[in-house]
């Protein structure tokens, strides 16, 4: 067994940190898009629009039923061969799209369950004052479902941050891609991947602290 090259590791930290913004950017954009898409899918699953329901079921089934890596390859390497307008797409965009579609399928199920967990009286009160279905969902049901689903959704966000590391397989130089490049130059694979692992870990831990604050904030309306 050889000793760890600590100097190399310390020197690598600022290099990889430089790619943290790109990782967080991909995760944040994909999360926002996935939240919107998942909410739409979830609302459809609850009110069951005739003619649309089977499509949504199929969508959720496919994106939950196949690996994220396979989906990313399918979009980035496969789809442009069939749809020529996609040849311009870059790795970052493809990764964001893939993460969005993949995670929206999972999040849709979490939000759907949360919607059905919102008390019946809340729906009736919204209907009784003459809200349209859309107003009721936007103003009353979804905000309350969001609170119920929040811990699960934060979990998916954490998963998504780690999922951005797959973007390196699409040629994107993010945290993982940068580490891979550094390691293949130095041959110190253990040191390099240990550094990047710890950095991901720290990011997730910081977010978990944020999760506690978010939950306190969301629960403020329910404190007695």
Here's the x/- map for another protein, 193-222, by CB under 8 A: it reads as ---------------------------xxx
By residue count, the chain amounts to: 224
Go through 2-26 and write b for each residue having 16 or more CB atoms within 10 A of its CB, e for each that does not: eeeeeeebeebeeebeebbebbbeb
CB nearer another protein, residue 141 or residue 196? 141
Phi and psi at residue 129, in whole multiples of 5°? -90, 5
Q: Segment contacting another protein (CB under 8 A): 71-79, 82-90, 118-126, 161-169? A: 118-126
CB nearer another protein, residue 18 or residue 143? 143
Alpha helices in the chain (DSSP H): 6-17, 20-47, 53-65, 68-73, 79-82, 91-116, 120-128, 133-135, 142-163, 175-186, 189-218
Q: Is 87 in the site for another protein (CB under 8 A)?
A: no
Q: Which of 63, 97, 147, 174 binds another protein (CB under 8 A)?
A: 147
Q: Is 143 in the site for another protein (CB under 8 A)?
A: yes
Q: Which of 39, 144, 164, 179 binds another protein (CB under 8 A)?
A: 144
Q: In angstroms, rounded to a whole number, what is the distance separating the alpha carbons of residues 102 and 66?
A: 9
CB nearer another protein, residue 184 or residue 219? 219
Phi and psi at residue 119, in whole multiples of 5°? -55, 140
Neighbours of 215 (CB within 10 A): 14
CB nearer another protein, residue 66 or residue 135? 135
Q: Is 131 in the site for another protein (CB under 8 A)?
A: yes
> In the complex, which residues of this chain contact another protein (CB under 8 A)?
119, 121-122, 124-132, 135, 139-140, 143-144, 147, 220-224
């Amino acid at each position: 067994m050889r000793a760890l090259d600590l100097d190399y590791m310390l020197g690598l930290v600022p290099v990889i940190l430089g790619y943290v913004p790109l990782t967080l950017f991909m995760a944040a954009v994909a999360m926002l898009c996935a939240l919107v898409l998942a909410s739409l899918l979830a609302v459809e699953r609850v009110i069951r629009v005739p003619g649309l329901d089977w499509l949504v079921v199929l969508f959720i089934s496919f994106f939950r039923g196949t690996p994220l890596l396979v989906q990313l390859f399918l979009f980035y390497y496969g789809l442009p061969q069939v749809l020529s307008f996609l040849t311009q797409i870059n790795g970052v965009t493809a990764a964001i799209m893939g993460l969005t579609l993949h995670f929206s399928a999972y999040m849709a199920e979490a939000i759907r369950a949360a919607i059905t967990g919102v008390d019946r009286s809340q729906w009736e009160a919204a209907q009784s004052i003459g809200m349209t279905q859309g107003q009721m969902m936007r103003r009353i049901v979804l905000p309350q479902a969001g609170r119920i689903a929040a811990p699960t959704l934060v979990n998916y966000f954490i998963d998504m941050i780690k999922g951005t590391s797959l973007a390196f397989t699409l040629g994107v130089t993010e945290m993982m891609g940068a580490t891979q490049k550094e390691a293949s130059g130095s041959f110190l694979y253990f040191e390099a991947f240990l550094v990047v692992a710890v950095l991901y870990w720290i990011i997730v831990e910081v977010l978990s602290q944020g999760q506690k604050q978010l939950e306190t904030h969301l629960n403020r309306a329910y404190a007695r």
